[in-house]
Structure formats: C-alpha cells, structure tokens
Amino acid sequence: MSDSGGATASKYLAISGGVGGAKLALGLARVLAPHQLSIVTNTADDFDHLGLRICPDLDTVMYTLADLNNKEQGWGLEGETWNFLAALRNLGDETWFQLGDRDLATHLTRTAMLNQGLTLSEVTRYLCTKLGVNHQVFPMTDSRVATQVLLKAGGKLSFQHYFVRDRCQPEVVGFRFDNIDAATPSPAFQEVLHDPQLAAVIICPSNPFVSVDPVLSIPGIRNMLRDVAAPVIAVSPIVGGQALKGPTAKMMKELNMPQSAVSVARHYADLLDGFVLDHEDAELRPVVEDMGIATIVTSSVMITLKDRIQLAEDALSFSRTLTRGMSESS
Amino acid sequence: MSDSGGATASKYLAISGGVGGAKLALGLARVLAPHQLSIVTNTADDFDHLGLRICPDLDTVMYTLADLNNKEQGWGLEGETWNFLAALRNLGDETWFQLGDRDLATHLTRTAMLNQGLTLSEVTRYLCTKLGVNHQVFPMTDSRVATQVLLKAGGKLSFQHYFVRDRCQPEVVGFRFDNIDAATPSPAFQEVLHDPQLAAVIICPSNPFVSVDPVLSIPGIRNMLRDVAAPVIAVSPIVGGQALKGPTAKMMKELNMPQSAVSVARHYADLLDGFVLDHEDAELRPVVEDMGIATIVTSSVMITLKDRIQLAEDALSFSRTLTRGMSESS
C-alpha cells in the first residue's frame, strides 16, 4: 500500500527530547548510516539566559552523538570545568542554570550566529559539522516556542525554571507551548516527513508532555504523522511505572493518569503503529494491543552503549514488520 | 587663587588606560582613601566580540584594584583558565582575543546589563562593588567611541585588531576616535572635574595616543582640564626612550616624533603643570621646564607594589607643590 516497507525505504526519523531520547538516538546513529537517520529535537525548552540562547535538548543530542557528553549525568560535556560559573556567582548573577566553560562556546557561537540572522537550523547544522556529528540533527522549528508549566498552586513557570531551578518540585496541572500556533516545522523536518524513502518514525523514550508534545503540537505535524506512509513507533520512557529519567511519572500522577507505559501508548494512540515495552511491562501488551497498536517486549533500559545499540536494532527490526493500516505485533 | 592647593582640597583624579596606567592607579589607591580617588578610564578600546561588550581598560583597572589581576601579564585574571577558548577554537570561531573562563563572567554580566538599558557607568559601579573595588572607577563616557588605527599601508584597523590580533605590527600614521564628537563625559567624570575639592589631576603613564588622547578628545574635556583650578600632572610612560609597556615608542617613531619623554610632555603641554620623569631621563628636565612645565625626577619604573606606592606618593607630593599659574619644580 506504500513504499514505506519496501526495500528502497531506508530512512528513519527519530523524535527526541534531551537525555533519555538522546540515548536511543545514539544507538540509532551507531546502527544507521548518516544519510539514513534524521533526528528532530524539541526546542520548546530553549530559553534566553544572560543574553545567550540556550537549547538544552539540541545540545544534549549533539554532544551525545559527538561522544563529547558527560556519560554520568547525560547532559553537558565530559571533562567540563566551572570557572565561569564561579566567577558569575561572585558577580551576583543567577547561577541555577549550569553553564560550563566549554559549553559556553556553543551558546555564544549560536547566539552570535542567530543575531547575524541565521536560522536555528542553519546554526545547528554548522555546530554539528564542527563537532563531528555526521547524522542529521535539527530543531523541530526555527520559530521561538517556549514551554510554560502550569502549576497546581496557580500561575506558571517557564520550563527551565521549573525543571532546573525548582527541580520539578511544584505540582503541575498542564503545559502550554507559547507561540506554538505560529510555529512552522523546520525545513529539514518538513523534508523528511515528505521523503518517500521514509521507512519509519521512532518516538524516542522522552517525556511525552514536555519533550514530545511540543514537536507534535507544531501546526500540521500531528496530522502529517497520522498521514505519513511510514509506520510510527514509540519506545516507552516509563518502565515498571517509573520514569527512567526525569519527571515523567511524577507528571502523570499530577495529571491524574496511571503511572504506566499504557498512559504513554494512550497519549500517542492516534499516531502509533507500534510500541516498545520493557520486559518488566510484558503484562501490559494486551492493553496496548487493544488500542490497535502492535507491541514488542525487549530490554529498554539503556545503561551501556551496547544497550542503546541493541534497543535501536530492536526498534528498527520491529518497525520493519509494520505497515500502516496493517499493524501487528512481531 | 583657588582652593585647589588648600587644606580642604583632597580629591584626586587619575586618567588611565590599561596595564601601565593601572599600575599607578593601584599605587594611588593604596595611598588615598576611596573618597579621595577617582579613576577615569579610556573606553575607546572597547569593542563587541562574539556579541559581548568588552572593555579592556576598565577591566584591567578593576581587576588590578581588586587584586584579582594576573601579575605576570598585567591584564586578565590570576589563575585564569582557558577551556572556553579551547572549545571556541574547536567551533571555528575567532580566538585571537583571549577570553578567559572567569573573565567571561564580567563580559556576560556587563553585556546583559547594558542590554537591559543600564549605562556603562552604572554597570561599572555594579561590577566594582561586586569585585570589592572601593575607589571610584568609571568610564570616560557612556557613549560608544571606537579607536581606528590609520595605517601607513592605507586603510585602518579597529584598535583590538591592531593591538591584539596584529600585535601592533602595522605601521601607523594616526588614529581616529569614531563617534568622539557625539560623546559626552560620564556623569562621574563631569562631577569630579567640577568638584571644588579636586586637588590634582594625574595622567597615568599610559599610551598618550590611544589611551589618554581619547579621554582628552571628548568634547569639552581638554578645555575643562585647561581651566580646572587643580594642577594637572603627567607621569611619563617613556623612560630612556623606551615604552615601559606597549607600543608607545614604536608609535612615536612612526609618527615622526622623537622617542623620548619630551614628546610626551609636548603632547600634553597645553594642559600640564607638572611632569614626572624617571632618573634615567634627568637630563631632559630643562627641555620640559622650558615649556613652562615643572618636573620632578624619581623612579618611575614600577616593578613591585612598593614601586607603585612610592611613585604614587611622589606624584601626589609633587602635585601639592603646584598651583596653577604658578608652576615650579619641587
């Protein structure tokens, strides 16, 4: 019914947020050739800080693929130093956002290039080239979009204030993506969604509410993902009711959803052909399949590089068993 | 004839460029109480680099007075690290201007505050407070002024490109201070020049052409210094025909002036009541005094902190012997 499952369809699109998504993105990058993999990254976390444009998810994906990332913490650079931040503290500035000395070079370069009129896509391509990232990494949009976290206590917080400064402590009731209605998908994002070679879309195990939803909320994207010939699969960021990383499970509780991989599948149900569960959640397969979504069960907790590669291979194999309108479990 | 020489006149204004001037400024700050000393600093060296406003002379004076400066090189911070610059090089940016990790905190803070609409005077006061500089340090103007170096080979270079990137190699034929005609003295600069307590103005041993001339070229300043009741003295930056620091002697040669302290005295002759010569230049006293300028001879080569303090004391004592219209050697 389409060429998405054919021998010539060999391109994959990964949708990623930060640390959790970047793990699978790295696995995919080790399995797929540069021309076979595009990674679109959430930019609703981006913010201006001390005059710098900071793009946490883009940077995490870039640094991870460049093998420059701090393997312990997931974000930031390996061997980073913090002398700038110490001096900044001495000057009385806000220092809740961790700006490493080396990391600053990325932010200054990006900010200077944006101020010269280049788009975030163009800047990202430049940075990737310089950092030695060969696979295509691009922002979801070149428009400014900003996640606002709506609080149970009333009012809202900008995302980084919620996430970093306040360590996700405040209870949330929802999220708003400022300017999303005026945002357009970045050129590379549009291109890959229209590429007849597209074999599958893989939603990485990122936070559905604040990492993936912004991508899906860009006008037209959700419909394009529904209509695209290639199957769409997701890897659950929730295993055994816990988030592998970050506040996903906590948010589910506050949003009155079951803290379960099923909630993730349900969140994407209108898009999904396949869903990847961890062995620990094997008993959830029938519930997900009842939504008309195929499943596989594998090891989805990525500790080592080998885990990342294995999960990438499992997800790719799974996607190759799926054709749209004919979803079935492998 | 004025109260400048009276017992109540106890305030001093130092005019300084970067490293050379900052040495004497430090000596003066060790001898005079905070309310007794104002230091006005050249800002025509300031430039925008990677989106940051960089004020080399202000920073050198601030860091020196805060005892944070690198004692070996004169500029920059002690114990500085260069990881930002290494990462910047990796990203293919220009790295000829040395931006240290700690130093960056100053530039980012300044730039952010300027972008918020604060004046350079306000930002400098804030930075001084945070760095523990108790004496008043302020820019010559809150307007943007930019030194252009006019080249013998034709064309021009912005100052930092000439000074840092090209290490003063190109031959010069003159200097132009862009926007100087529209510049107004900073509020603190105006205030001190109108302060009846002003006891003396001390031109530090800075480069006359690119550090002091911009200050003197702000509309009204040269006349105010001619008309002020307090005596004006200068300390020669040329000793034995050599510049103690920087390209002053080289510039004199290229500008077809004798490479001599006499050229400095002549350069300021319309303003000066007194001129401080080094022992090595004792034989130049009659030539300078023939211009109607009083002189002292002392040790003006500042190696140690003790040297800086001694020269400051000598200059202050000298200034106290002078009253305008009645100049005489001590």
Residue A166 has pLDDT above 80, yes or no: yes
Among A53, A68, A84, most B C-beta atoms within 10 A, so best to mutate, is: A84
Specify the pLDDT at position B326. Answer: 43
Does residue B81 sit at the A interface (CB-CB below 8 Å)?
yes
Residue B145 pLDDT level (bands cut at 50, 70, 90): very high
Residue B9 has pLDDT above 90, yes or no: no
The answer to whether the Cβ–Cβ distance between B91 and A52 falls below 8 Å is: no
Average pLDDT over residues B127-138: 98
Contact at 8 Å (CB) between B247 and B206?
no
Q: Which domains does chain A have, with CATH numbers?
A: 11-320 (3.40.50.10680)
Average pLDDT over residues A75-80: 92
**Smallest Cα distance from A72 to chain B, Å:** 20
Phi, psi at B324, each rounded to 5° = -70, 140
Specify the pLDDT at position B8. Answer: 59
Contact at 8 Å (CB) between A101 and B39?
no
Three-class secondary structure of residue B70 per DSSP? coil
Q: What is the mean pLDDT of chain A?
A: 94
**B111, closest residue in chain A (CA to CA):** A51
Residue B329 has pLDDT above 70, yes or no: no
Contact at 8 Å (CB) between A277 and A261?
yes
Specify the pLDDT at position A325. Answer: 54
The answer to whether the Cβ–Cβ distance between B91 and A106 falls below 8 Å is: yes
Average pLDDT over residues B90-107: 94
Residue B256 has pLDDT above 80, yes or no: yes
Q: Single out the residue of B234, B232, B241 nearest to residue B284, CA to CA.
A: B241
Residue A182 pLDDT level (bands cut at 50, 70, 90): very high
Specify the pLDDT at position A94. Answer: 87
Does residue A112 sit at the B interface (CB-CB below 8 Å)?
yes
Least confident range of A287-296, B90-99, B232-241, B257-266: B90-99
Q: How far apart are the first and last CA of chain B?
A: 19
Specify the pLDDT at position B330. Answer: 38
Q: How far is residue B203 from each of residues B42, B272, B274, measured CA to CA in Å?
A: 12, 9, 10
Least confident range of A137-151, B73-87, B138-152, B284-298: B73-87
Using CB atoms within 10 Å of the CB of residue A134, give its burial: 0 to 12 exposed, 13 to 18 middle, 19+ buried: middle
Could you give the CA distance from residue A268 to residue A209 in angstroms, rounded to a whole number?
A: 11
Specify the pLDDT at position A145. Answer: 98
**Smallest Cα distance from B31 to chain A, Å:** 27
Q: How many CB atoms lie within 10 A of CB A280?
A: 16
Specify the pLDDT at position B325. Answer: 54
Residue A8 has pLDDT above 80, yes or no: no
Average pLDDT over residues A35-64: 97
Specify the pLDDT at position B106. Answer: 98
Residue B7 has pLDDT above 50, yes or no: no
Q: Single out the residue of A140, A138, A318, A313 nearest to residue A231, CA to CA.
A: A318
Average pLDDT over residues A246-257: 94
Specify the pLDDT at position B72. Answer: 85
Does residue A114 sit at the B interface (CB-CB below 8 Å)?
no
Specify the pLDDT at position B47. Answer: 96
The answer to whether the Cβ–Cβ distance between B87 and A103 falls below 8 Å is: yes
Contact at 8 Å (CB) between A305 and A29?
no
Average pLDDT over residues A61-74: 93
Does residue B97 sit at the A interface (CB-CB below 8 Å)?
no
Average pLDDT over residues B44-63: 96
The answer to whether the Cβ–Cβ distance between B109 and A88 falls below 8 Å is: yes
C-alpha torsion angle, residues A97, A99, A104, A109 (rounded to 10)? -10
Residue A5 has pLDDT above 60, yes or no: no
Average pLDDT over residues A2-28: 82
The answer to whether the Cβ–Cβ distance between B88 and A109 falls below 8 Å is: yes
Chain A residues within an 8 Å CB radius of B105: 84-85, 87-88, 90-91, 93
Contact at 8 Å (CB) between A39 and A63?
no
**B88, closest residue in chain A (CA to CA):** A105
In the block, tokens 């956002």 appear at A97
Residues 6+ apart with CB under 8 A from A183: A140, A141, A143, A145, A218, A219
**Smallest Cα distance from A76 to chain B, Å:** 13
**Smallest Cα distance from A132 to chain B, Å:** 10
The answer to whether the Cβ–Cβ distance between B50 and A109 falls below 8 Å is: yes
Could you give the CA distance from residue B112 to residue B31 in angstroms, rounded to a whole number?
A: 34
Residue A246 pLDDT level (bands cut at 50, 70, 90): confident
Specify the pLDDT at position A301. Answer: 94
Residues 117-136 of chain B whose Cβ lies under 8 A from any Cβ of chain A: 127, 130-131
Residues 207-226 of chain A whose Cβ lies under 8 A from any Cβ of chain B: none
Residue A187 has pLDDT above 90, yes or no: yes
Residue B222 pLDDT level (bands cut at 50, 70, 90): very high
**B92, closest residue in chain A (CA to CA):** A130
Could you give the CA distance from residue B168 to residue B149 in angstroms, rounded to a whole number?
A: 10
Residue A2 has pLDDT above 60, yes or no: no
Query: Between A93, A104, A130, which is nearest B92 by CB?
Result: A130
The answer to whether the Cβ–Cβ distance between B87 and A93 falls below 8 Å is: no
Residue A73 has pLDDT above 90, yes or no: no
Specify the pLDDT at position B311. Answer: 98
Determine what percent of chain B is predicted with pLDDT higher than 70.
95
Specify the pLDDT at position B244. Answer: 78
Could you give the CA distance from residue A153 to residue A164 in angstroms, rounded to a whole number?
A: 18
Average pLDDT over residues B194-206: 97
Does residue B52 sit at the A interface (CB-CB below 8 Å)?
yes
The answer to whether the Cβ–Cβ distance between B104 and A115 falls below 8 Å is: no
Does residue A182 sit at the B interface (CB-CB below 8 Å)?
no
Using CB atoms within 10 Å of the CB of residue B173, give its burial: 0 to 12 exposed, 13 to 18 middle, 19+ buried: middle
Among B52, B77, B84, most A C-beta atoms within 10 A, so best to mutate, is: B84
Residue B203 has pLDDT above 70, yes or no: yes
Does residue A115 sit at the B interface (CB-CB below 8 Å)?
yes
The answer to whether the Cβ–Cβ distance between A130 and B91 falls below 8 Å is: yes
Among A49, A59, A108, A127, most B C-beta atoms within 10 A, so best to mutate, is: A108
pLDDT tens string A189-233: 999 999 999 999 999 999 999 999 999 999 999 999 999 999 999
Specify the pLDDT at position A4. Answer: 41
Q: Read off the tokens for B55.
A: 């004020």
Residues 6+ apart with CB under 8 A from B324: B1, B2, B4, B228, B229, B230, B231, B273
Q: What is the mean pLDDT of chain B?
A: 94
**B48, closest residue in chain A (CA to CA):** A112
**A51, closest residue in chain B (CA to CA):** B112
Q: Which residues pair with A275 in a beta bridge?
A: A234, A295
Per-residue DSSP letter, B169 = -
